A = this chain, B = another copy of it.
Amino acid sequence: MTLTRREVLGAVGIAAGTCALSSCAMEGVGSFQGGASKKVFPWKYAELDPDATAQRAYIHCAKGHCMYGVFATVMSQLADEYGEPYRSFPVDMMIYGAGGVADWGSICGALNGSAALIGLFVKDEAEIKKLVNELFLWYQQTELPQYAPPKPGLNIKMAKSVSDSVLCHVSVTRWCKASGHKAYTKPQKERCKRLTVDVAKKTVEILNAHFASQFSAALQHDEKTRQCMPCHTKGSKLQNTRGRMDCDSCHTTLPDDHGLI
């Protein structure tokens, strides 16, 4: 699938007002001409080659870490093919997501970058949730990293681990346990680079499927979490929390009277 010139022009709203500001004369932009820019949303997505995504993500990740690695990769693929507005998105801003947002260990930066892309290309909130849900469940349940770089930045036998969580803190800790390596070391950073590649590739596969009307959710929460949900989530008896993360990655023990009230 490729974009026509008309389709790409549908995404140029980000430029029109800027030109007005900078006193440039605009021609040929149709309804986007003039000072009050018409903000086009969502941005157009075009099918990408997931293997090309993977190769590029490994390089981008080395430059700006995990969130940037996913976001800048997809944006640069679209920019190379279609130019603007993709080329001028300030992708460097996404460096903030590294290490679970500025090293805080919350949401995995690769997943934050993916979700940001999905938010940019998909307008409907229910659809965003459906795609993010599939990606996040896959991340929680899959042995990662899977990517084997043709030219590894670090030559090691790479251990794999299942995170059971979308949080950087938990994901890294589990890999450290599985591998025997410490955090903040070259092997851990190499692991996160390769995991970022996996997430970028999976994101493109999901977006490709969605925009080809071929996406269907395949994964569900693990059994333990499914046992918790009927009492705690939306529409339940207690309805005392929000979220979709696996419960037992933090709630490892429960009080003796749990479930008796």
Contacts and interface: CB of A to CB of B under 8 A. Distances in A.
A13 interface: yes
B95 A125 contact: yes
Interface stretch (A147-155, A198-206, A210-218, A234-242): A234-242
Which of A41, A129, A241 is packed against the most chain B CB atoms within 10 Å?
A: A241
B12 A21 contact: yes
Interface string A216-241: 00000000000000000010001111
Given A24-B24, A102-B129, A88 B8 contact: no
A29 B92 CA distance: 22
A242 to B, nearest CB: 5
Chain multiplicity (copies): 2
B111 A101 contact: yes
Classify chain A: how many residues form its interface, as a range: 35 or more
Interface string A11-25: 011111111111111
A26 B20 contact: no
Interface of A: 8-9, 12-29, 32, 35, 37, 39-43, 82-85, 87-107, 111-112, 115-116, 118-120, 123, 125, 128-129, 132-133, 136, 166-169, 172-173, 176-177, 182-185, 234, 238-245, 250, 253
Given A18-B83, A37-B84, A173-B242, 8 more contacts: A9-B21, A15-B16, A24-B25, A39-B90, A41-B90, A41-B93, A102-B115, A184-B239
